[in-house]
Amino acid sequence: MRLSGLARRILWPAATLLLLHLSREVDAAKSRAPEDNFAFRAFLERIPDNELVEMGRRMHYPELELALEDFAEFIESKPELADWSYSKAAALIRIAPRAVKSAKMLQYLFRIGYNQIPKFCLQSINGQLTISAGCARWLAINDCSSLLDEMLQENPDLKFIYSELFRLAIREGSIDVMKQMHERGQAQIPSEESVRAAVESNHFEAVKLIFEMFGDQIDWSIVVEGYSHTLRSDKMTKYLLENVSVTSSPS
144: helix, strand or coil: coil
| Closest by CA position to 155, among listed 125, 178, 117 | 125
d(CA 2, CA 35): 13
The class level of CATH for 120-247 reads mainly alpha
Q: What is the pLDDT of residue 72?
A: 55
**224 touches 250 (CB < 8 A):** yes
What distance in Å separates the CA atoms of residue 211 and residue 221, rounded to the nearest whole number?
A: 13
pLDDT value, residue 70? 61
Q: Where are the domains of the chain?
A: 2-95, 120-247
- Cα separation, 5 vs 119, in Å, equals 31
pLDDT by 10-residue block (mean), the chain, 251 residues:
45 39 45 43 53 56 56 59 54 72 82 84 91 96 94 91 93 94 91 89 91 90 69 74 59 41
